[in-house]
Amino acid sequence: MKLWSDEIDAMRPVARDAVANGMEAMRAMIGNRAAIDPTLDKFVRAKQQREMFALGYLLAPEAVEREIAGVRCRVFTPDQHPARAVYLHFHGGGMILGAPEMNDTANLELCRRTGMAVVSVDYRMAPEHPYPAGPDDGVAVAAWLLEHGEEEFGSARLLTGGESAGGYMAAAVLLRIRDELGAADRVDGANLVYGVHDWGRPPRQRGLRPTGVVDILDRPARAG
């Protein structure tokens, strides 16, 4: 059975190069996790990893720093007004590292290409701020956008999404928009990119580790 066209198949070398280049950039941001001293306090380990990760950020001057519902956000607005919609974005980073700045390039392109306003949330992270601090921030920003988005950006349409941990965050916030704000019908879509959506994990995954390197946080901290 042929799963894709010859045109798509011919893109394999380009796709492999893109993945290889992207992995090199990711490794440079993550650094050598095996070199992290496991005896250090978990807060120190998280701080070191965040500083290393931030070295790879490519900042977009078009981004506007704003505080929305008491939460720092990076905001991109399209040239045309009104915006076609507002995209509520959550960055990745395993709930312990990362920042809206890491997605500046992609969020700027998304804003320009689609005509949407993009609001990327600097939600609180572990270990300093255990669950549910992060989703609480996301819900606060979402509630503000539901009330003020049309006045601020010219559109009442709201979409949400994120990558990896951001995919989980977007899903968690979306469920709380439904259950706490009663506004699921106000959200037009969710872009959940390789998020983790089942923290219980199926039986075949329990007890397995992806790598043998030192954890940034210890197991109790992750569980909290």
Where are the domains positioned within the chain? 40-192+211-223
Is residue 137's pLDDT more than 90? yes
Q: What's the mean pLDDT in 33-56?
A: 76
* Highest-scoring range by mean pLDDT, 25-29, 32-36, 159-163, 194-198: 159-163
Which of 83-97, 120-134, 200-214 has the lowest average pLDDT?
200-214
Q: Choose between 103 and 5: higher pLDDT.
A: 103
Q: What is the mean pLDDT of the chain?
A: 85
pLDDT digits (tens, 9 = 90+) for 144-160: 999 999 999 999 999 99
123 pLDDT exceeds 90?
yes
Instruction: Identify which of 6-10, 42-46, 62-66 has the greatest average pLDDT.
Output: 62-66
Using a 10 angstrom Cβ sphere, with 0-12 exposed, 13-18 middle and 19 or more buried, the burial of residue 179 is exposed
> Across-strand partners of 86?
117, 158
Please report the pLDDT score of residue 88 as a whole number.
98
- Calpha distance 103→92 (Å, rounded): 9
pLDDT at residue 224 is higher than 60: no
Mean pLDDT of all residues in 70-80: 96
pLDDT of 163 higher than 50: yes
User: Stretch 93-110: mean pLDDT, rounded?
Assistant: 93
> Which whole number is the average pLDDT over 163-185?
95
Q: Is the pLDDT of residue 214 over 60?
A: no
pLDDT, mean of residues 64-84: 96
Residue 22 is predicted with a pLDDT of 65
Name the fold adopted by 40-192+211-223.
Rossmann fold (3.40.50)
How far, CA to CA in Å, does 130 sit from each of 40, 51, 224? 19, 20, 6
Do residues 193 and 163 touch, judged by C-beta distance below 8 A?
A: yes
Asked if 59 and 101 touch (Cβ cutoff 8 Å), the reply is: yes
Q: Is residue 217 very low, low, confident or very high in pLDDT (cuts 50, 70, 90)? A: low
